[in-house]
Structures are given as structure tokens and as C-alpha cells.
Amino acid sequence: MTKPGQFRGQAPAAGGIDADAFAAEFKAAAAVLWTLAAAVLGRSTAVDDVLQEAAVIGLQKRDQFTPGTSFTAWLGRIVRFVAQNHRRRERRRRTEATDPAVIGETVAGRAAEAAPAIDARGELLQDMGAFDDALRGALLQLRPVARACLLLKVVIELDYDAIAAVLRIPAGTAMSHVHRARALLAAELRPQETPR
């Protein structure tokens, strides 16, 4: 007979973390894990699927967790790998249209995404949706690790040591990714001078 939190056919975790502690730690780390998955995927539509799959894998491997270490970093690595695998599967499934009309619409849509959030006088545009689209487009130009560093720093407000632990990279590398990502976003979102 299996105990609550134990999968059929598995022995209880000898070291690791029990199922109740896993659930509590997962809940506490949810915002960081969600942001990490969204950063790797480049969009938020499949994040819940990735987190669910990562949670199942984490539960199955919870005996590999070392007590006293960062649960968020440990599960963050699993989330990152699951999200990367999900992206690879999506890329293989994706096909580009070859119909000239569809290509024209796609190009026009991408040009509309580049609309700046402020006009030449520095005033906010009424349509902030254009800014959201431009920001999303600029974020998608970043590599997944750089995007994850930036979002974990700006949105979740983690310090560089915490970002480094979650992504298993040196803190200086996390800092460098954030600095370069901010510079790229500033350049991409800077309003274009209109010729006179």
C-alpha cells in the first residue's frame, strides 16, 4: 500500500524531501519557476504545462534533492530543461507559410510590433498595446538564459546570487546578461527619429 505523496512502485525518499515539504517549497518558488519557464519558452502559453511536467519529474526525483540546498535552484534546473525540450518540440512542429499573401501579412504584423511607446516629443502614445508588442518582440530577441536573467532580476527582483543559483551560472555572468539585455531592450524600444 502506498503512503500519501508516494508514487506506486517507488520506495519512500530516503534522503531528499518528502511530498508535503515538496509541495510547500514548490508553492513558495512558484513565481520564480513560472518566470523561468516563460523566459525559456519566450511566451507564457505553455508555462503551466511545463511547470506541471517539471513538478512530476521533481516529485519522482525528490530523493535526489540535497536537504539544506536551494529547492528553487534544484527544481529550477528541471524547469529549465523541460522548457528547453518543449521549445525544441515546438520548433520541429512549426512550419512557415509559403503563400505570398500570408507572408505579406506576417511582415506587416512584425513591422507594426516595432512601433515605439512614445512619440518624437517624448509623450506616451495612447495605444500601449503597440508598446507591449514591441517589448515582447525585443524580449524574444534575447537568448533564453539572458531573458531569464533579466526577468528574474526585474520582475521577481532576485539578487544576482539567487539568479546564479537558479540558472547554475556564475553571478558575474548573470549580471552581465542583465546589463546586456537592458542595453538591447533600450536600443530596440528607443523611438526612431523621423526624417524632416
Cα–Cα dist 188/137, whole Å: 9
Residue 114's DSSP bridge partners are none
- The one-character DSSP state at 143 is -
- The one-character DSSP state at 1 is -
Domains 19-93 and 107-189 alike in fold: no
Would you state the pLDDT for residue 149? 92
Q: Which amino acid is at 47?
A: V
Q: Which of 12, 27, 28, 24 is nearest to 62 (CA)?
A: 12
pLDDT, tens digit only, all 196 positions of the chain: 334 434 333 444 456 899 999 999 999 999 999 999 999 988 778 899 999 999 999 999 999 999 999 999 999 999 999 999 998 888 777 654 444 444 445 444 444 444 444 444 444 445 556 667 778 888 888 999 999 999 999 988 999 999 999 999 999 999 999 999 999 988 888 876 555 5
Q: Which of the listed CATH numbers 1.25.40.10, 3.40.50.720, 3.40.50.300, 1.10.1740.10 matches domain 19-93?
A: 1.10.1740.10
Q: Which of 59, 54, 37, 35 is nearest to 46 (CA)?
A: 37
Q: How many CA atoms lie less than 13 Å away from 45 in the CB half-sphere?
A: 5
Cα–Cα dist 59/61, whole Å: 5
Cα–Cα dist 73/152, whole Å: 12
Q: Where are the domains of the chain?
A: 19-93, 107-189
pTM for the structure as a whole? 0.66
Note whether 16 and 64 are within 8 A (CB).
Answer: yes
Length of the chain: 196
What the block records as the C-alpha cell of 117 is 511607446
CATH code for 107-189?
1.10.10.10
Type and span of the H or E element at 4: none
